[in-house]
Structure 1
Amino acid sequence: MDLGLLGDTAINAFVQLNPSAPWAIKVAESWRGLPFGKYLQKSPPRRRRSVTGPSSTARVPLWCGGSIVVNQDYPYEQAESLFFSKLPLDVRVIIYEMVLGGMLFHIDSERQDGRIFHSICASPETVGEVHHHPHEACDSLNLAAARNNMSPSRQETPEPSGFLPLPMTCRKAYTEAIEVLYNSNVFDFTSNNVAFRFLKTMIPTQRLRSIRHFRMTMRIPHHPAMNSRSRRDWNALFEFFGDQMSGLRNLYLKFLMLHPCQQQIRNTEDANGVHWIRPMVSMAADSKRKRGCTVEIMTGHELQNLGLAYEQAEQYITSGDYEEIVRLTCLTVHKRIRVSLGGQG
């Protein structure tokens, strides 16, 4: 029997019923999948999406105050407005981009199951630097409002963020502008839980394809190849980025690994690490070829451009054999990860 196939319920029951809780928790960890697996393995919620339909009102998700998604009654479409009748669509899109685009959203939650809030980064140009801290780089007033809005004692509806009144004006404005909100900004997530709650349970599936710039700090509790559940979740992660988030142009993942995971990688021969590196490399090579997407991963203080690593491997494999190119790329990437975590060069 492959214990990696046990469900989370069975694993939790094993821990709760075992008289030696510390030992049971340690054993159960070797059976568990990765933290984001539970989101990737389930279907997204089915919602009635009537925002562009014939009805006069609809309940649609909007960014509001410190909350990522809230419901608002949508007014009638205002086609007679001079904004729509006098300005051509391409001009309106430019206006939408000026109002809604060019921002970096840090998205977080103070509790695992708490309300998700966003804050607009005040120093987006430093986001790639080691000392960039999401909260310190944000407008303090905006962040304070976000935290107040997520307080359980706060019952009133939060006021909309400064950029929201435009898409909230009417149905037609929403229909034309909402795409810009997703494809013209950078979304930066500080935890697995918040990221996949947002991506898989809060926004409509079709909006995943609209996101162009995505950053995430990922906490990896154990090696991605520890057991069958972890391997399944790891493969599903990069299938998700490659297939469902098919509009991506920039993907940045920072891996924070616990010490046992780092030690296992340091002690693994590069040839034996190819199997868990391959999903990343295959997704990066395919995405770069199809749409010029840049995929970067950070381990330790080492930043790797996976698409560039694949192109460099192509120069050495003159036969053009895809499998050989992927294998050489995986060897190179695993070595760089191993060294970045303190392994021998």
Structure 2
Amino acid sequence: MSDPKIPRGEFDPDDLLHLSAKRILVTGGAGFLGSHLCAALLKQGHEVLCADNFFTGRRGNLRHLLGNPRFEVMRHDVTFPLYAEVDEIYNLACPASPFHYQHDPVQTTKTAVHGAINMLGLAKRVGARILQASTSEIYGDPQVHPQTEDYVGYVNPIGKRSCYDEGKRCAETLFFDYHRQHGIEIKVARIFNTYGPNMHPDDGRVVSNFIMQALAGEPITIYGKGDQTRSFCFVSDLIDGLMRLMGSPSEVTGPINLGNPVELSIRQLAETIIRMTGSTSKLVFETLPQDDPIKRQPDITRARNLLDWTPKVQLEEGLETTIEYFSKIVAATQGAAERK
């Protein structure tokens, strides 16, 4: 006869599905990309520890995940060491929009550099594989088009954008030095413009700016003549690329460009959003900011060959979902204002 004082665990058949699950740390996990990554990892059955200092990340991005017993949220700034037992680390922590990273440029550089040092130190201590969310800003205002991973960039080290550009470049240096010196398993992804739900409506990025202005019927602000180009990748495609890179053989370190190679001008993007929202907004043109890249298009040959990855979501399909997301925010905001 069993002793009633001895607790008996309840067996859940779903536990068998998670015997090979990993414990994964996502820094910046409450941000735009981080929240989508956390959701995708949980869907695969992993345990996820989300670390975020909530400077740009938002708890609302995680609301639908909080009831999951395999998900944990920790308020933490990566400029300080973090101690946890994990199998993999996705280092996404850092403001990514010019509006946010120029707000406190010193802290931005600290986040990129000290954050990389602390996460690499954790990876070294626990033997974890670690992925760095780097950026197309590594290339600066590129003199090579489209941008391949062996292009070393054309970056102003003392400009207003350099806190982010050079911070991310230094982080890549640290990753490869830790790999060579300590044998850390690293993955480096250079992320190009990405958009989709969970973007902050006021983060200053071009897609969110244009959609919010169009929904409000306000003039759409274009810097320069609007002939500068970008390539926009929908968030689900980008997350798939990150996870494929993390799961690739150890000899695949990167850097690997992740982005949509379809290039269009900023003016074309604005006109597309006006048409899709049915907006009456007009275009207004202002001075181009310092060091704003004129052309941006990824060469994704490496991603195709090494990860069997290519974006699947077409621009208008992704914009439709993103416009719907921002429309709900606008409606909720207006409803709250009316109730006051």
Whether TM-score is above 0.5 comes out as no
TM-score between the two structures when normalised by the length of structure 1: 0.30
Larger Rg: 1
Structure with the higher fraction of residues in helix conformation:
1
